[in-house]
Structure formats: structure tokens, C-alpha cells
A = this chain, B = another copy of it.
């Protein structure tokens, strides 16, 4: 065995993704994604291939590839021979998104008793960090950060499932929900009333009371959903 492998080489595997070059299509998708999730691209807007391709300096083919990526994340809808549009959510979509969230998040919490101790600890830590970040942002009146902290909170809840697929599904769901937040009347303060619920859930999961946490979260999501569907009334 050569002397070069002293054990630290294996750790490099974790950094593989860092140096992974991104395709142009992926980078294009990134800039469009942030524009969409930040609400700077109104739902229903049609995205012209020629126009955007020229603006970003990429060919139509590459741009179409980026469109496919975002369509798969349901941030764009692709209508054959008509073009791609920024996703516009209906009341049914919100209902389904919350149904999915209930299954994912409550399922993660109910699985928590079976996750190994170290992973459970990191999940609890992530939840705690999100709660504290939300509270301090609210104290500073920074409502945008309150929103992102709330997103981080629910993403942290999903960690209890200890499943990459649950993680990804959760990420996609939250990105989709952003499309609704921006069409609300007062998106700035939407998340603020849930800070108390988040804190309460934190005490539950920190104490290992996962079933109670799951039931509390289910009611929580019901309330949020019914508050959200009023946008479409």
C-alpha cells in the first residue's frame, strides 16, 4: 500500500459535489429559479425562448433544457407547441401540496423514534436553529427572513425521516408553495403567527414526544392551508 493514502483521501469524496462543474443549462435554470421563487416573475408569464435566450446569451437548445429542469420542479408548465409559462397555482394545487406535506412531515416525525441517535440530534439542532432564526428575525421586523426561517424549519422537520428522497420532495414542495406566498395580499407577515407553533413543536421533538408533535403539526398545517386558500376565493 502506498504511503499517500493516510486515510484523509476518503474524506475527499464528500467534496466531490463542490467541484462538480455545472452545465450551462443548470446555471440558467438556477437564475430563473431564483427569479421565480423570489416572486420577480409573475405566475402565468410566458417565457419566450428567443427573447430569454438572447438576454442570457445561450442557445435555444440549452434554454429549452433549462426549461425542462424547472418544469420538472413544477415551477414552469410546458404546453406543447405553445411555450412555457410560470406556474400559476390553483386552489386544488394548494390543497394537494398540503396533503403531501402532511404525509411527508408527519411521516418524518412518526419515523423519528426509529432514527439513530446522532441523526436525530442533528435534526433537533436544525429545528432549533430555524426556530431561533425566525424569532430573532421577527424581533428585528425582517419579515423576509422570517419566511425563509419558516421554510428552514419545515425542511428540518423532514430530516427526521433520514431519507434523501423525503428531503428532496420537501424541497420541491416548499419551492412550489412560494408561488402562492407572492400572490397573497400580505406575504410579509404570513409566517409570523406560526412562530409560536414552531417553538412548541421544538419542545416536543427535543423531548422525544414525536407522536404529539405529529398531531400538533397536522393541525398546524390544516390551519395554514385554510388560511391560504382564501387567496383564491
Contact = CB atoms under 8 A, between A and B. Distances in A.
Interface of A: 20-21, 23, 61, 64-65, 68-69, 72, 80, 96-97, 99-100, 102-104, 106-108, 111, 161-166, 169
B166 A20 contact: no
A185 to B, nearest CB: 27
Contact of A100 (B20, B80, B100, B163): B163
Q: Majority SS of interface residues in chain A?
A: helix
Given A64-B65, A68-B65, A107-B106, A163 B21 contact: no
A162 B99 contact: yes
A65 B62 CA distance: 10
Contacts of A164: 96
A103 B80 CA distance: 34
A232 B108 CA distance: 27
How many copies of this chain are found per oligomer? 2
Contacts of A96: 163-165
Contacts of A21: 80
A195 to B, nearest CB: 27
A165 B103 CA distance: 11
Contact of A111 (B69, B97, B102, B162): B102
A96 B111 CA distance: 13
B23 A103 contact: no
A107 B111 contact: no
A71 to B, nearest CB: 9
A18 to B, nearest CB: 14
Nearest to A60: B61
A103 B102 contact: no
Contacts of A99: 111, 161-163, 165-166
Contacts of A103: 103-104, 107-108, 111, 161, 163, 166
Contacts of A169: 169
B23 A80 contact: yes
Nearest to A115: B99
Given A99-B111, A108-B103, A80 B20 contact: yes
Contacts of A72: 72
Contacts of A64: 65
